[in-house]
Structure 1
Amino acid sequence: MERNDWRMISEGDLMERPIDFDLIRNARFPEGEFGLRMIEGMNQGHAALTDWGFSQVESWGKTILDVGCGGGAALRKLAEALPEATFWGCDISPLAVSASVKMNRENTLNGRMTFVVCGVSELPFESKKFDTVFSVESLYFWPNPKEDLKEISRVLKPGGRFMTVLEMVGGRLSQRHQAIAERLEMFCPTAEELENLFKESGFCVEKILHDTERGWLCGVGMKMN
């Protein structure tokens, strides 16, 4: 297996290569050597998507949580842009959390960042703690997206924001991505489904943006009370 096999999950330039499901399943729960490769790949392959998602958030505040933090690249980038903020990251994969700590060692040691192993359904944080919660490419794997968004709302302050950004969008999946989504039991919403999910979970929808050229989808919602 070549080092760049991870790109199958995020780019379309390897369409002729057979899908390696032993590797791809680590997108849901990274573990072992394949998990390390997937984490490295996500850190690199999601960079542009992450930048686009970040650009849609008008105000971050000073307490920020990354749900499904993966290898920690998104938080590292955000910490450089927001020197006064404090950050938390969580992931169900101990391997991913370990990778996040390693990538952000200085900020972890000085107390600017805290990482925990947990799932989105039961966040180990007090209510109304965060100004912003965001998630890059993890909504696909949430056990119950509607209830999980309500849990995110619980830990947000009134007026706080949630942002999610995705590159596998319902109704526009290639045959290859459709096969991956089915095998991994991924929830890949359309723009309309994402908007409805926000509303049903009690968020005021600020933005639903679908970049059809790049196949990216971003949603931003505000907690009202």
Structure 2
Amino acid sequence: MVATDGDGTASEPEYDEAAIRFLGVLWGEGYLSPGGPAEVDRVLAGVDLKGRRVLDFGCGAGGITLHIARTQGPAEIVGYDVEQPVIERARAAAVTQGLSSIVRFVSSSPGSLPFDVDEFDAVFSKDAMIHVPDKQALFAELFRVLKPGGVFAASDWLIGHDGEPSPDMKDYIAAEGLSFGMASSRHYLRAMATAGFVDCTAESRNGWYREVARGELARLKGPLYDEAVAAVGEAYVEKNIRTWTAMQKVLDSGEHCPTHLRANKPAAGERP
């Protein structure tokens, strides 16, 4: 994930060891976003990564990056994040799983990505762009590092409108305590097109996550409670039960709208 202060400098890590352990209990080891491998595969449906160079933007603790490396056959996949605790965890996991020959993890301060122009055949991201407030600057960077003819495939947490967040949404964001820079699908699509992407699409996943989150909350209150408490302590778990309860309200209203995003960079010689 990506965390910045208002001036663009790196803040204290939002995904520390406690967060990594807690979300690992809930979503699977190395996963900092919901849905597990099945949702990653849905984001990538129809995208051929075999033999390609891939960027996983906002890779977090590396569970998704390593899943793609094991199952999609890329020549190389680079996981990128600005937070050092998750990068360290991801690097250790790559060694443990014997994937260091095709996976590497890179960290830098927020801002321009530390990659060359046209470096990647595909850019992937899973629920990380929410932490970057300037979507136009973000998509300009992703477009820059993507090769002509390359594909962008992502999921992110969006808000369902362009207006002021509702009181329930403000309560949820406050409960999360994270640097959420939420925007609507219209805003995302406009930023993608402005950057030069074509064939831009946005598919709401609210209906899917609305029910998944309801199950997550039930498991936190029930069968996962003792395991989560053993991992991070009772106060941390109770805080997240309150967060999931607040999130359920804005999922049920449709204001919180996880979304799949897809676009292409025009091939060489094509006009956007």
TM-score, normalized by the shorter chain, greater than 0.5: yes
Pair member with larger Rg: 2
User: Hey, what does 1:219 align to over in structure 2?
Assistant: 261
User: Hey, what does 1:101 align to over in structure 2?
Assistant: 91
Q: Aligned residues: percent identity?
A: 21
Contact in 1 for aligned 2:203/2:259 (Cα 8 Å) = yes
4+ residue runs of structure 1 moved beyond 6 angstroms? 172-175
Contact in 2 for aligned 1:30/1:36 (Cα 8 Å) = yes
Gaps in structure 1 of 5+ consecutive residues: 1-25
Contact in 2 for aligned 1:70/1:100 (Cα 8 Å) = yes
TM-fit CA distance, 1:147: 1.0
Structure 2 residue 173 is matched with structure 1 residue 181? yes
Contact in 1 for aligned 2:133/2:180 (Cα 8 Å) = no
TM-fit CA distance, 1:53: 1.3
Q: 1:200 aligns with which of 181, 194, 203?
A: 194
TM-fit CA distance, 1:141: 0.9
Q: 2:14 aligns with which of 21, 29, 36?
A: 29
Aligned amino acid, residue 34 of structure 1:
A
User: Hey, what does 1:20 align to over in structure 2?
Assistant: none
Aligned amino acid, residue 97 of structure 1:
I
What is the CA deviation profile of residues 41-97 of structure 1, one whole-angstrom value per residue up to 9, with x for unaligned ones?
551734143232122x53335100101101111111111222342110111111110
Contact in 2 for aligned 1:39/1:71 (Cα 8 Å) = no
When the two structures are superposed, what TM-score results if normalisation uses the length of structure 2? 0.63
Aligned amino acid, residue 157 of structure 1:
K
Higher relative contact order (CA 8 A, sep 6+): 2
When the two structures are superposed, what TM-score results if normalisation uses the length of structure 1? 0.75
Q: 1:63 aligns with which of 14, 39, 53?
A: 53
Equivalent positions of 1:118-129 (< 5 A) are 118-119=108-109, 121-129=111-119
Equivalent pairs counted in the alignment come to 196
Distance 1:104-1:175 versus aligned 2 partners, 3 A rule: farther
Distance 1:97-1:54 versus aligned 2 partners, 3 A rule: same
User: Hey, what does 2:72 align to over in structure 1?
Assistant: 82
Contact in 2 for aligned 1:136/1:164 (Cα 8 Å) = yes
User: Hey, what does 1:160 align to over in structure 2?
Assistant: 150
TM-fit CA distance, 1:206: 3.8
**Take 2:189 and 2:74, find their aligned partners in 1: how far apart are those partners?**
31
Match of 1:213, SS state, is helix
RMSD (CA atoms): 2.8
**Take 2:172 and 2:199, find their aligned partners in 1: how far apart are those partners?**
29
